[in-house]
Amino acid sequence: MGKTHQERNALQRSSGKRYGIAVAGFTCLYAVCVSFFYSSWLVSQPSFSPASFDNVLNPTIFVVSLLFSVLVGSKLTHLVRLPCLALGYSGFVLALGSAFFAATTCLDQAVVAVSALAAGIGMALVMPFYFEAFACYSSRRIAIAFGIMSLGGMAANMLLGFAPDIVSLVLYGALLAASALCLAFTRHAETSENGKIERDRRIPSPHPVLSKQDFLNVFLVSGICTFALSIVYGILDTAATGTSPSPATSILISQFGGIAAAVVFLVYFGTRTKPPTSLLFNVVFGILATGILFLPFLSSDYAVSLNILAAAGWKLVMLALFYLVVTTYARSRTKLLVGISLAYALPRFGLFIGQNVAQLLGVGSTADFVRTTAVAFFLLYLILMVIWMVNSHERKRAESQARAADELLGRFAQEQENVRKLRCEALAADCGLTNRESDILYLLAQGRDVTSICETLFLSKNTVKSYQKTIYSKLGVHSKQEIIDLVNTANSSRNA
């Protein structure tokens, strides 16, 4: 028993260490991703266009993520893992080098496009495996990991913005290398500990069993809502960029919104046992829809505040969607990778649509089109919330019925076991069995074999076999099945 307790403590310490390293690596990787989301090196260049960069980055993430999900869905997860990671990290290296060259040598549009393309490939192929690394933990630890990843990555990127270009290049390279090492360590530790940690973690798994209803709850409503919000946020962000003093100011506003979202996510999901995700979506969508409706009638200062709120809301909903996907698909790694790829790809595509719609129509922060979009978005939100509530109601009713059935079956099984025990005691008393023979009789009546009885009573096989022969002789039977039949008919025999 002491050895088992020590082994359990060692496994828990190992799991905690692996969790900490995974969080650190994920934070490092996200800091690199943020540098491309906000074009950290290039935004200060007078002729640089953030919209052009995003028009390459976001579609690349979308297309490569879709291809990755198809590849993983073809049951080739183990075969494509290393090639995808190698290609993804190579993409990051190429993206960092191209961005540095464009920022320090010449702002060649082809080099900028290569940087955006390579960064999109890196994000689409590496990020899903990091999300997968947290599937084995509890919901609260998943939420804490995602919140720290977002908050730490945003903060690190803002700090690196004050460093010279060559220094930031070296530091981003170090963060990228650290993320690769942390991911390799996490994967190796999970697969090389004789499966003990995985078994201990899976038996009492806090995650629900996957079902088609889970897919509908995750993607039909929350996924579509996030996609719709991405379009609206793309419009607002483009409008705010057009009216802000510089692109750097707009990016700074968005960064503050991201930090606020990470803090709210940590408080909401990291401090509660079962946080209702639908409530979070309701609050975020309701506030944004109301705020956008009043946008055309208020000052430009309000537009800046709303853009911060929109950035925070969009990133908060994104984190919540990732959390939903990972906790829903935790027991199916293949489906988790497919789900997280779709959850990662669709919002970036929605952002791409919103930004280009705003540019095409020349939307300003006070344009009537913003109000029209807001009304349409608000109506869509109401429709989707009705669908969500109907699905949630049906799911809760089914879960309630399942729990009631489980409780009824549990009580029935316990009553059956009590009856079996009483019959064994009566039979033992009638046939003059000793206490030890009575214990073995009860186990035999359960259908246990010799090995199981030895483990339960801590007896040797020869001892159990000796007792078994004696029991057979006293009861006048010749097999375990005859004992089971005798116990089951003991009451009727006694009454007769």
Candidates 343, 85, 358; CA nearest to 237 is 358
Spatial CB neighbours of 1, under 8 Å, sequence gap ≥ 6: none
**Model pTM score:** 0.68
Q: What are phi and psi of 477, to 5 degrees?
A: -120, 170
> Cα(1)–Cα(50) distance, rounded to whole angstroms?
62
Q: What are phi and psi of 9, to 5 degrees?
A: -65, -40
Candidates 106, 401, 386, 154; CA nearest to 259 is 154
Mean pLDDT computed over 435-443: 86
pLDDT reading at 195 higher than 60: no
Is residue 395 within 8 A of residue 208, CB to CB? The reply is no
User: May I ask the CATH architecture of the domain 16-401?
Assistant: Up-down Bundle (1.20)
Candidates 134, 101, 126; CA nearest to 176 is 126
Secondary structure letter of residue 295 according to DSSP: G
The tokens describing 27, both together, are: 């934070």
Predicted confidence (pLDDT) per residue in 352-380, tens digit: 988 887 777 665 544 445 555 555 555 55
CATH 1.10.10.10 fits 432-495, yes or no: yes
DSSP string, 2-18: HHHHHHHHHHHHHHHHH
pLDDT score of 423: 84
> Cα(240)–Cα(91) distance, rounded to whole angstroms?
31
pLDDT score of 14: 60
Model confidence band, residue 30 (pLDDT cutoffs 50, 70, 90): very high
Model confidence band, residue 196 (pLDDT cutoffs 50, 70, 90): very low
Predicted confidence (pLDDT) per residue in 281-302, tens digit: 666 666 666 555 555 555 555 5
Residue 291: how many CB atoms within 10 A of its CB? Answer: 19
> Cα(132)–Cα(334) distance, rounded to whole angstroms?
9
pLDDT reading at 495 higher than 50: no
Candidates 411, 485, 480; CA nearest to 447 is 480
Is residue 296 within 8 A of residue 368, CB to CB? The reply is yes
Buried-state track 198-225, b at ≥16 Cβ within 10 A, e below 16: eeebeeeeebeebeeebebbbbebbbbb
Predicted confidence (pLDDT) per residue in 378-406, tens digit: 555 555 555 555 556 556 665 666 677 77
Is residue 330 within 8 A of residue 136, CB to CB? The reply is yes
> Cα(197)–Cα(307) distance, rounded to whole angstroms?
45
Model confidence band, residue 62 (pLDDT cutoffs 50, 70, 90): very high
Residue ranges per structural domain of the chain: 16-401, 432-495
pLDDT score of 2: 43
Mean pLDDT computed over 153-173: 88
